Amino acid sequence: MNLYGHAGQWLMIDCGITFNSPLCPEAEAKTSGLHKHDVVAADPWFISQRKEQLAGIVITHAHEDHIGALPYLWRRFKCPVYTTKYTAEILRRKLARDGQGDNIPIIEIDSGERVDIGEFNVEWMLITHSLPEPHAFVIRTSAGSVFHTADWKIDLAPVTDKPFNAHAFKLLGKQNILAMVCDSTNATREGHSVSEQQCYTGLKQAVVTATGRVVVGCFSSNIARLITLAKIAKETGRYFALFGRSLQNTVGAAKATGHWPDDLPVLDAFNAGYLLPQEVLAVATGSQGEPRAALNQLAKDTYRNVSLDEGDLVIFSSIVIPGNETSIENLLKAYKARKIHTLMADDSELPIHASGHPCQEELKQMYEWVRPQIAVPTHGEAEHLEANAEMARLSHVPRSLTGLNGDLFKLAPEVKVVKQAVKAGRIALQQS
């Protein structure tokens, strides 16, 4: 949840959630056993007290950590939401499930479009990530222009949408960008991120050599990975199925907005239990060990549609998010006890997972193209923010500002960070 302020108005960029998390993650690092909540969001108190000054909410893409809190929190803001067609479809499905229907005014924007939202002129710039229609923004005001990257990577073969277009970002270097607010998730990693298309070979090799059922755990929002797996199922004579409501919802949205290939059929999960083991390739929710998700139910043999047998294979086409190590380890132990094979991304010789975030060489490249006066690293822990700032320095960006949630970054006319200027924190949300 990012807020930009200018001329007495505010613009919100994203409104996300996280799952199975404590309200104070900093304390969790020092103290074990903190209570975790199913759904957690940023505390919106500051902007809720000023909702008449909130010109609008802009959503960069459809990942839960960028869109998931809107159905819970919108009543506190009651302003228009601006996003693209696919992300709007995901949001409308969430709202319908929560009984809100058409309550939220959602304005669909096309790539490349520029829209005035109160005192802010916002330009949508298509970028590459791991799902359809991810966008960065140029936010223009009379005080200066800010380039907000959101989540991104340089991917020349992203499977969904168009390949990364460097030309659009090189043009920003001639527009006197005041600040670049940039994703830091992989800033500690050297080199360049793996292209999404590179996962095809590793995943297909694992499926071809499997003799029983194959179940793949991956993030349900990763349409690119799902398309790759559906292609592999078709090429290897297996039926492609989805285990978990969020996966079915994501693919439904992709079909509704033209992002799912017509020649890739999806089998109803109910029918998977009637197939021979060697005919099944399914994707399941719960790659982070979530207790209610399909992978956990499969491990306990409580999933209603199908049972796994000795010799079947479960592939984790995902990273281990810090904090989830114990949950995933317990999941692996449960599969091992039943003699079900598992394959983790780190144990595969070929890539079976690709991050959606930029590594160091990509960060330096973007800074050199955009040439901002100020770098503002965001979206990461302290070590990631510092590493991002170092990439900016190596790319000859004159100044970097780093801080914590609740800090106010003044970009013009003076440049400084006001520490803890805003009440910030986390709140627990109640699932409907």
Q: What is the pLDDT of residues 354-394, one digit of tens each?
A: 999 999 999 999 999 999 999 999 999 999 999 999 999 99
* Short-list 12, 131, 163, 159, CA closest to 64: 131
Q: What is the mean pLDDT of residues 31-37?
A: 69
For the whole model, what pTM was predicted?
0.93
- State the pLDDT at residue 371: 98
Predicted confidence (pLDDT) per residue in 142-176, tens digit: 999 999 999 999 999 999 989 999 999 999 999 99
Per-residue pLDDT, 143: 96
pLDDT category of residue 36 using cuts at 50, 70 and 90 = confident
CA-angle at 299, arms to 298 and 302, nearest 5°: 50
The answer to whether residue 16 scores a pLDDT higher than 90 is yes
What is the structure's pLDDT at 304? 93
Q: How many residues does the chain have?
A: 432
Amino acid at 365: Q
Q: Is the peptide bond before 163 cis (omega within 30 degrees of 0)?
A: no
Q: How far, in Å, CA of 335 to CA of 332, rounded?
A: 5
What's the pLDDT at 26? Answer: 64
Contact 123, 171 (CB under 8 A): no
Lowest mean pLDDT, pick from 94-103, 111-120, 338-347: 94-103
CA distance 345 to 119: 46
CB of 150 within 8 A of CB of 159?
Answer: no
Domains for the chain: give ranges and CATH numbers: 2-192+355-429 (3.60.15.10), 196-347 (3.40.50.10710)
Q: Are 364 and 390 in contact (CB under 8 A)?
A: no
What is the rounded CA–CA span in Å between residue 290 and residue 18? Answer: 12
Alpha carbon distances (Å) from 303 to 158, 235, 243, 292, 315 = 32, 27, 9, 10, 17
Strand partners, 102: none
Average pLDDT over residues 42-60: 97
Q: Please answer whether residues 130 and 317 qualify as being in contact, where contact means their C-beta atoms are separated by less than 8 angstroms.
A: no
Based on its alpha-carbon atoms, the radius of gyration of the chain, rounded to whole angstroms, reads 22
CB 246 within 8 A of CB 288: no
Residues 216 and 281: beta-carbon distance below 8 Å: yes
Contacts of 367 (CB under 8 A, 6+ apart): 180, 182, 375, 391, 392, 395, 396, 397
* Confidence label for 430 from pLDDT (cuts 50, 70 and 90): confident
Mean pLDDT, the chain, whole residue set: 94
Please state, in angstroms and rounded to a whole number, the distance separating the CA atoms of residues 220 and 317: 11
pLDDT > 70 in the chain, percent: 96
Q: Are 279 and 239 spatial neighbours (Cβ–Cβ below 8 Å)? A: yes
pLDDT given for residue 101 in this prediction:
61
Taking the C-alpha atoms of 335, 338, 340 and 341 in order, what is their torsion angle to the nearest 10 degrees?
70
pLDDT at 432: 54
Six token digits for residue 58: 């802009």
For the segment 192-201, the average pLDDT, to the nearest whole number, is 96
* pLDDT: which is higher, 365 or 431: 365
Distance between CA atoms of residues 270 and 202, nearest Å? 28
For strand 9-13 and strand 54-58, is the pairing parallel, antiparallel, or unpaired? parallel
Helix (H) or strand (E) segment spanning residue 46: helix 45-48
Residue 187 tokens read as 């800033």
Answer whether residue 102 shows pLDDT above 70: no
Looking at residue 52, the DSSP 8-state letter turns out to be G
Q: What is the mean pLDDT of residues 327-346?
A: 96
Q: Which helix (H) or strand (E) holds 187?
A: none
Residue 35, pLDDT score: 82
Residue 288 pLDDT greater than 70, yes or no: yes
Per-residue burial over 72-87, b = 16 or more CB atoms within 10 Å of its CB, e = otherwise: bbbeebebebbbbbbb
What is the percent of the chain with per-residue pLDDT over 90, rounded to a whole number?
A: 88
pLDDT tens, 214-243? 999 999 999 999 999 999 999 999 999 999
Distance in angstroms (rounded) separating the CA atoms of residues 211 and 341: 11
